[in-house]
Structure 1
């Protein structure tokens, strides 16, 4: 199970870790933390040294109720960072967290290798044709609604079955466009209650029927810290526990704030496989 990232074949048979770099002022955990070049380079260097295979760069906050920003503002935030990272880390594999086809196009042109779309193609009808034309790995995430309204009242008859059906339909469209590398992300916390999130985590292995790599993005999310009545800052241990469950249930990529601990979880799980 490999994906082609700018000519580098990455084997996902052994799970990989994707480090999160939020360059937004209002992300739920690290918003506003990485504002200047020194802080950005220092954090990315740390994540790479700790064992991250991918760095996921996001310039649009997708936390519940997040402020909507224009395409121009997103572009102005993210392209200089892509340039900065590719200049300083020539071998880096950058994933761009965006639901906009123009941002996808511009950032891949600037040196990024993967498009990570929280909307699964639902918020920009040009996204599928764009990624198919670019022939880059595409992370297809499930979200009910938009970041502005997704947590108001998410309702499902059967959350696992409905998300699998969504993926099957979207994957079919992408296959018709001849896109090779598709990764699915169930979208923990994106239009789901806590009960939904834990049901999906328990049933994650069922998504292997789609025959695509699975990305799990659970890091420090409210499903963990609200369950334990703690803060996001205190949720590292809970994150490691949830990541371990995800790995045991078939996750191929862990998207995390804390790379070292995620890499250790992968190494431990690999010992019993």
Structure 2
């Protein structure tokens, strides 16, 4: 499945890059969040491949989220998809956007794929296989988190487009060496491959923003918990997430 989802993510990334190269319009959804032709094109690619390969597994996607809670509450397994994570970064054209596909089992992310097309970098992970990264279509190489050494200053990643005032309060008592802003689920991947120690998030996200990244971080040896220190919930009636802390 990791090979299949990796191929799908790359094909979706190619669809995004095709839209990016020719130019695009931006419209707003009902919740005022932006959407582009690239979001729609990527979503079509992902739905086509997933329904062909895994017709028995339902799909919950940002661009197809209006599935009644009563229906999805019965799901034991499903794909949770963000066809273009970091739409605001895509619109700014800073390259910090990605495709996210997660397999959920009993409402837990057990397998994740995150593909950043501008960098041709693919992150994958599951508890069974560990986590890997492939750059420039090369063979996947194992990655693991790198917790800070004793007295080492923390390398913290945070949201580029959604900074939160609570972040400063959270960090003030920590030994922070560097604060790096980044867009989309790439922040999870920086923790997973040992380039960052901590990703605290206080502003809201949606479930499809976090599932694939969480699967990869956990496969790499890290953790993601809610601000209450409890397991992070998925497939809620309201798909909006509360805050969380990702740690190496």
Do they superpose with TM above 0.5? no
Could you say which structure has the higher helix fraction? 1
TM-score between the two structures when normalised by the length of structure 1: 0.29
Q: Which has the higher contact order (CA 8 A, sep 6+)?
A: 1
Taking structure 2 as the reference length, the TM-score comes to 0.31
Q: Which has the higher strand share?
A: 2
